[in-house]
Amino acid sequence: MREKIVGGLLTPKDETGDCFKFSNALAAKAAALGVRFNYGSIIRGLDVEGGRVHGVVTAHGTIGADAVVVALGSFSPLLVRPHGIRLPVYPVKGYSLTIPITDASRAPESTVMDETYKIAITRLGDRIRVGGMAEISGYTNDLGEPRRLTLQHSVTDLFPGGDVSKASFWSGLRPMTPDGTPVIGPTKIAGLYLNTGHGTLGWTMSSGSARLVADLVSGKKPEIDATDLAVARYA
């Protein structure tokens, strides 16, 4: 397929990983340190009184807390809006197709960005993942066949070493902000912090954002100046 490519850019410091593996391993390490995860628990609201947050109201009752970090991705604005916080984070939908490799010699070795289709093609062990697209269609996770065909076409065009009939198709919502920077920091409600709006780079920025939030919540001086990351920048 050499004749199809005019040129390329190599970004040697870019890295590729499996965020599912990362998240599970991180959760296991956190649990070993005493973190309790309430999986499957729906948050219905915030317990706010006297200008301070006192906890989170869930479907199974209220959980009391000195500090609450809102990290609900695109859903974050819905939780804070009743408390007068206008958070301009909007869901921008993307899709991915994950294909088992049948011929490794015709699969990518690392990540390739295709600027024609605006997609990224990644090697994930014995699978190829192609992801991309940006659709403004609200809070929906529908999977449209035309999107699948576009991803399928772009990946098989470059790397025909997978079995597309066994591919899994997925969509996700990127929490986008109008200025492209995440919203991290305190709010006008004491004890209530935000960590959202990471758009297309949520995993890339997750560890750094978490460090920043942890420093802010525990009253330490963060390594970077976080003033401009707070929601107050939209005031």
Ligand X SMILES: Cc1cc2nc3c(=O)[nH]c(=O)nc-3n(C[C@H](O)[C@H](O)[C@H](O)COP(=O)(O)OP(=O)(O)OC[C@H]3O[C@@H](n4cnc5c(N)ncnc54)[C@H](O)[C@@H]3O)c2cc1C
202 binds ligand X (CB under 6 A): yes
Q: Using the minimum distance from each CB to ligand X, give the nearer residue, 12 or 39.
A: 39
Residue 45's H or E segment, with its range, is strand 43-49
Contact region with ligand X (CB under 6 A), list: 20-28, 47-55, 92-100, 157-165: 92-100
- The answer to whether 88 and 80 are in contact (CB under 8 A) is no
Among 87, 96, 123, 216, binds ligand X (CB under 6 A): 96
State the nearest-atom distance from the C-beta of 216 to ligand X, in Å.
Answer: 16
Residue nearest to ligand X (CB): 202
State the nearest-atom distance from the C-beta of 137 to ligand X, in Å.
Answer: 13
Contact region with ligand X (CB under 6 A), list: 72-80, 135-143, 144-152, 218-226: 72-80
Number of residues that bind ligand X (CB under 6 A): 23
Q: How far apart are CA 172 and CA 141, in angstroms?
A: 7
Q: Using the minimum distance from each CB to ligand X, give the nearer residue, 203 or 234.
A: 203
Q: How far apart are CA 72 and CA 70, in angstroms?
A: 6
State the nearest-atom distance from the C-beta of 197 to ligand X, in Å.
Answer: 8
Q: Using the minimum distance from each CB to ligand X, give the nearer residue, 207 or 227.
A: 207
200 binds ligand X (CB under 6 A): yes
Q: Where are the alpha helices (DSSP H) in 52-201?
A: 76-80, 145-158
Q: How far apart are CA 148 and CA 165, in angstroms?
A: 12
Q: Using the minimum distance from each CB to ligand X, give the nearer residue, 102 or 114.
A: 114
Q: Using the minimum distance from each CB to ligand X, give the nearer residue, 42 or 235.
A: 42
Q: How far apart are CA 187 and CA 123, in angstroms?
A: 40
- The answer to whether 29 and 64 are in contact (CB under 8 A) is no
- The answer to whether 192 and 68 are in contact (CB under 8 A) is yes
203 binds ligand X (CB under 6 A): yes
Among 69, 70, 71, 158, binds ligand X (CB under 6 A): 71
108 binds ligand X (CB under 6 A): no
191 binds ligand X (CB under 6 A): no
Count of alpha carbons within 13 angstroms of residue 220, beta-carbon side: 9
181 binds ligand X (CB under 6 A): no
Site for ligand X in 22-51 (CB under 6 A): 42-43
Q: How far is CA 20 from CA 26, 27, 67, 170, 171, in A?
A: 10, 11, 27, 14, 15
Tell me 133's DSSP state: E
- The answer to whether 47 and 54 are in contact (CB under 8 A) is yes
Which pair of tokens denotes residue 205? Answer: 């920025």
Q: Which residues bind ligand X (CB under 6 A)?
A: 42-43, 71-75, 94-96, 131, 172-175, 196, 198-204
